[in-house]
Amino acid sequence: MSRPLVVILCPKEFRFTDTTASVETPFLAEVAELKTVWLDFNAPLPDEVFAATAIILWHGPRVDAPVVARLKNCRVIIRNGVGFDTVDIAAAASAGIPVCNVPDYGTEEVADHAIALTLALYRQLFPLDAEAKRLGWKIETAAKMRRLSTQTFGVLGLGRIGTAAALRAKALGFRTIFYDPYVPSGTHKAIGVERVNTLEELMRRSDTVSVHCPLTDETRGIIGAKEIALMKPGSYLVNTARGDIVQKAPVFAALRSGHLAGAGLDVVEAEPLRTPEEAATPNLIVTCHAAFCSPEGMVEMRSTSAKIARAAVLGEPVWNRVN
């Protein structure tokens, strides 16, 4: 009998993995054949995918309902990361295929990145860097540099990363609040931050709003023109979650008008930035959907995915199931 097949699907331009699957192999070599498939975005999936017992899916390739319908041997689809919006989880559930993610691998990195963006905005690091390199010392941005203990840091989504970011902000002296209708009562008492009851209240009260919710049908575009208008003049927006949670046009318009003093975006709607005009938006810091990156985080993520795939191949229970 042929051995079970585990397929790793990765976009060609990503280099977070390697052809030899060096991290995954120690967990899987004894129980399955392992194959890494490199794909162009939107390229058709090769036959190996439809023969796989387990699929490890990097960000990019989509597994929609027609693809799920052809997965006759598949025991698990593992999203190599936190977000799982590239998989039709309902279709997979109907087909009896668990969809799992790796929700905790980048908790520290993404929370650190959100705070780094926040501090860069509050302390005006990039304008000051540019001014210093012009050999000048006027400190033209001094009026934007604020004392953190006078500011309110608002967290949208108090999951693992949101909690880590809230605790970091609290440690830096921010008054820290959050909105998340799905966390249990009393969570705010456990971590010592304040809970607000509506998104509107979060937007109105925060000097900085930091986005940490997953991308779902409910959260897609949840921050738009109405929500941006509710924010205090001169406030900041930070997003290290998913780009499509925040509508970029009203954010860029608010930056140009001065209603927002700045934005720190690791992710943008329809990423990456599309035009020179978008890139020239004032008071905008953009990073390359890289908040999760660290060698340690990559090894942790890939190891967890491989362990879940091993369990599925062996007929054992899987974990981190999202459907």
d(CA 276, CA 156): 30
Q: How far apart are CA 68 and CA 46, in angstroms?
A: 14
Q: What is the mean pLDDT of residues 72-77?
A: 96
Q: For residue 42, what pLDDT band results from cuts at 50, 70 and 90?
A: confident
Q: Which residues are catalytic?
A: 242, 271, 289
39-43, 197-201, 306-310: segment of lowest average pLDDT? 39-43
Q: What is the pLDDT of residue 124?
A: 97
Phi, psi of 109 (to 5 degrees): -65, -45
Domains and CATH numbers, the chain: 5-105+294-313 (3.40.50.720), 107-286 (3.40.50.720)
What is the percent of the chain where pLDDT is above 90?
86
> pLDDT class for 52, splitting at 50, 70, 90?
very high
Q: What pLDDT score does 131 carry?
A: 94
pLDDT confidence of residue 288: 94
Enclosing H/E stretch for 6: strand 5-11
Assign 226 to helix, strand or coil.
Answer: helix
Question: Over the chain, what is the mean pLDDT?
Answer: 94
Of the pLDDT bands very low, low, confident and very high (cuts 50, 70, 90), residue 118 is very high
Q: What is the pLDDT of residues 228-263, one digit of tens each?
A: 999 999 999 999 999 999 999 999 999 999 999 999
**CA distances to 35, 157, 297 from 49, in Å:** 10, 34, 26
Distance CA 31, CA 283 (A): 52
Mean pLDDT over 43-61 rounds to 90
Q: What is the model's pLDDT at position 199?
A: 98
Question: pLDDT tens digits, residue range 180-222?
Answer: 999 999 999 999 999 999 999 999 999 999 999 999 999 999 9
Can you give the pTM of this predicted structure? 0.88
Name the most confidently modeled range: 7-11, 102-106, 238-242. 238-242
Whole-number Å distance between alpha carbons of 42 and 130? 39
70 Cβ neighbours under 8 A, 6+ residues apart: 50
Confidence of residue 114 (pLDDT cuts 50, 70, 90): very high
Residue 171 has pLDDT above 70, yes or no: yes
Q: In what order do the strands lie in the sheet with 284-286?
A: 194-195, 175-179, 152-156, 208-211, 235-239, 260-265, 284-286
What does the pLDDT read at residue 11? 83
Report the pLDDT value the prediction gives residue 128, as an integer from 0 to 100.
Answer: 96
pLDDT of residue 178: 98
Distance separating the N- and C-terminal Cα atoms of the chain:
31
* Predicted confidence (pLDDT) at residue 60 exceeds the cutoff of 80: no
What is residue 1's predicted lDDT score, i.e. its pLDDT? 53
210 half-sphere exposure, CB direction, 13 A CA radius = 31
Confidence of residue 88 (pLDDT cuts 50, 70, 90): very high
C-alpha 63/C-alpha 68 separation (Å) is 7
